[in-house]
Structure 1
Amino acid sequence: MAYTCMDPKDFEVSNPPSDGISAMSFSPQADFLAASSWDNQVRIYEVQPTGNTLAKAAYSHESPVLDVCWSKDGTKLVSGGADKAARLFDISTGQSSQVAEHAEPVKSVRFLDQGQNILATGSYDKTLKYWDLRSPQPIGTVQLPERCYTMDTTGPLLVVGTAEKHVLLFDLNNPTTIFKQAQSPLKWQTRSISCFTNGKGYAIGSIEGRVGIQYIEDKEQSKNFSFKCHRDDAKNVYAVNCINFHPVHGTFSTAGSDGTVSFWDKDCKQRLKAFGNCGGTIACSAFNKNGQIFAYAVSYDWSKGYKFATPTQKIYLHAVRDDDIKPRNKKR
């Protein structure tokens, strides 16, 4: 089945990566989209007001790149790779340099809100490391119970999801101490984690087509719930590959290996919008800085092993309609 977009009006990004797309991130300052790929490259695209895209820059790792994230001021980009390194790309100079290393592949990278130069890296070597970009050595290291699969941060909250369904919460005012340790509320392996925009909790997605909404404070635990998604009529179950919170409305998207995207409102516990099937797995997605553009990559996610790998990758840009993503009035 040929890949298609989830909405006929969506724009296709020109010059997409030549291998599986692992992660995407929009600059918080401008409409620049970064995409990391299994072809060892990170590419940066400029999204023009017309919806057309220009390939602006690219840089390389020595192995597949697994994650990518912008600095808060939009001047730098960091990526983590299977070459056990995190690399920093400076937009103004066009130069990249290694800024972090682990004993195993770097699966997740995030700039922290605590300062433009502070970076967190999570690895398959079962450590979380903090780096000050002005120093070659980590400024903090935390032993994790298992390999890091995913992480996200908002304000003082950092959430790490590892193998064996461990979830570790950090208060970045005390970054090397695990503030709270929990088990995923879902039955199967963790695939994605995304923090609420207000930092009061996180959404966690698994390989079994299910999302858990989890609050941090004990007094809000009664609001926790899980729901099924990314399943079909034939009872096939698909991974929730990516969860993104809308930067304005606090609603969120899920993208799955069933080839679909949905928008959701956690407070009303309902789906806001379901989009058409893209004919291939959706590996990752991202909202731009004001939530008016939603990027999604139709790209193999390796969920069925190398035999099912597809040669084509596409990135599409969807113009988000406010009515599709705005919270609904709560039911009385």
Structure 2
Amino acid sequence: MSSNQFIVASPPTDAISALKFSPDPNSARIVVSSWDKNVYLYDLRDENGSVGEGKLLQKFEHRAPVLDVCFGEDENVIYTAGLDWDVKKIDLNTSEQTVLSSHEAGVRNVVYSREHNIVISASWDSTLHIHRPDAGANPDSIATIVPLPSKPFSISLTDSRLVVAMASRALHIYDLKALALLSAEADSSVPGGNRVEVEPWQRRESSLRFMTRCVACMPDGAGYVSSSIEGRVAVEWFDPSPESQARKYAFKCHRQPAEDGVDVIYPVNALAFHPVFGTFATGGGDGGVSFWDGISKRRIRHYPKHDTSVSAVAFSGNGKYLAVAISPGFEDGKDDVAEGAVQIYVRELGETEAKGKGAK
């Protein structure tokens, strides 16, 4: 382990489903959701302000495995989603938990839009719920329900767009302003008044032939990348013009050559964009993490492989740190998680470590 990389103290005891840095670029807080039914809040800074292994500040128990977590309006509010079917708001100052809405199946993802002050959850009941956080404590407030054509696997957003990657290679892109307006206008006092049909801004079919594992939007809002269970990543742009669509491409990654000449292929479990340079990281079932320049179509970094799957990756708000969650996955064919197998590594990046080849 290099001197600029460290392991976070007191990791979860079961697989990590999501990991997020505080949106404050001056903060070193991270939240982590786990299959051990808990959400963890860490501060990576010590008493002197230096970033290191950090300490566990709080742990919030849920009724079932937690599949996703995100920060909200500031770093004192988080939202969680999981197999208890609930979408929760947690006030970190008071530890108060509020159920914003309940789906009819497990909730795979939750994201917060700062620009429109809405929380969006995606569930395996094939719906999106659009929540207004300021109405969350009102028992009469019910989230706006948007039906989906297929089960969602991953969602991501920009300042103005929401990308929903689903089963059957379906992909919807929504206008966030339209979703926010619908949420404000929905009438929860009328039966079915909170369930609305929403025409997506765009409907697409995934460029990847196999099931989508993850999707992540570019920080400049120009497009997104998606990954599949079959060791591939696609890079696409929102602009529907033929010229822009001609730029999209896909590439192979997270594969290992075998003696018989046939590659061993791993799923690409995690994607994250660098907030400054616009390059992105991939984490795979092979235990590897790589950096890519989507514009020049090049791999710019590849780190030594970990012993087990990478389940989540995240950059800090200032782009100086990369957090990598290591969790045994289905690739290992094991149900039991050995003690110490789940870890969070944080790497301090050099000034040009995540910089693209063509960047100035």
Which segment is superposed worse, 258-267 or 135-144? Answer: 135-144
* Alignment check: 8 A CA contact 1:259 1:277 kept: yes
The 5 A counterparts of 1:282-301 are 282-301=310-329
Give TM-score scaled by structure 1 length.
0.93
* Alignment check: 8 A CA contact 2:173 2:200 kept: yes
The 5 A counterparts of 1:70-109 are 70-109=71-110
Does residue 1:167 correspond to 2:196, yes or no? Answer: no
Tell me which of 130, 146, 153 is aligned to 1:149.
153
Residue by residue over 1:161-198, the C-alpha shift from the partner in whole angstroms, topping out at 9 and shown as x without a partner, is 11221111001121243111111100111000000001
Tell me which of 212, 224, 227 is aligned to 1:202.
224
Output the CA distance in 2 between the equivalents of 1:289 and 1:299: 24
* Alignment check: 8 A CA contact 1:129 1:138 kept: no
What is aligned with 1:60? 61
Shift of 1:307: 4.1
Output the CA distance in 1 between the equivalents of 2:351 and 2:103: 42
* Alignment check: 8 A CA contact 1:283 1:298 kept: yes
Does residue 1:227 correspond to 2:257, yes or no? Answer: no
Tell me which of 32, 43, 60 is aligned to 1:35.
32
Output the CA distance in 1 between the equivalents of 2:338 and 2:152: 26
Output the CA distance in 2 between the equivalents of 1:15 and 1:302: 23
Residue by residue over 1:108-163, the C-alpha shift from the partner in whole angstroms, topping out at 9 and shown as x without a partner, is 000013334x1000000000110112145444221111111110111011001112
Tell me which of 262, 265, 279 is aligned to 2:290.
262
* Alignment check: 8 A CA contact 2:67 2:107 kept: yes
Shift of 1:225: 0.5
The 5 A counterparts of 1:106-255 are 106-116=107-117, 118-133=118-133, 134-135=135-136, 136=139, 137-175=141-179, 176-219=198-241, 220-234=244-258, 235-255=263-283
Partner of 1:167, secondary structure, is: strand
Tell me which of 8, 18, 21 is aligned to 1:23.
18
Partner of 1:277, secondary structure, is: coil
* Alignment check: 8 A CA contact 1:26 1:288 kept: yes
Output the CA distance in 2 between the equivalents of 1:34 and 1:50: 16
The answer for unaligned runs of 5 or more in structure 2 is: 180-197
Shift of 1:304: 5.2
The 5 A counterparts of 1:271-290 are 271-290=299-318
CA change 1:69–1:50 in 2 (3 A) is closer
Q: How many residues of Structure 1 are paired with residues of Structure 2 in the alignment?
A: 324
Give TM-score scaled by structure 2 length.
0.86
* Alignment check: 8 A CA contact 1:132 1:138 kept: no
What is aligned with 1:315? 344
Aligned residues: percent identity?
A: 31
The answer for unaligned runs of 5 or more in structure 1 is: none
Residue by residue over 1:61-120, the C-alpha shift from the partner in whole angstroms, topping out at 9 and shown as x without a partner, is 10000001111422210110100011111122122222221000010000013334x100
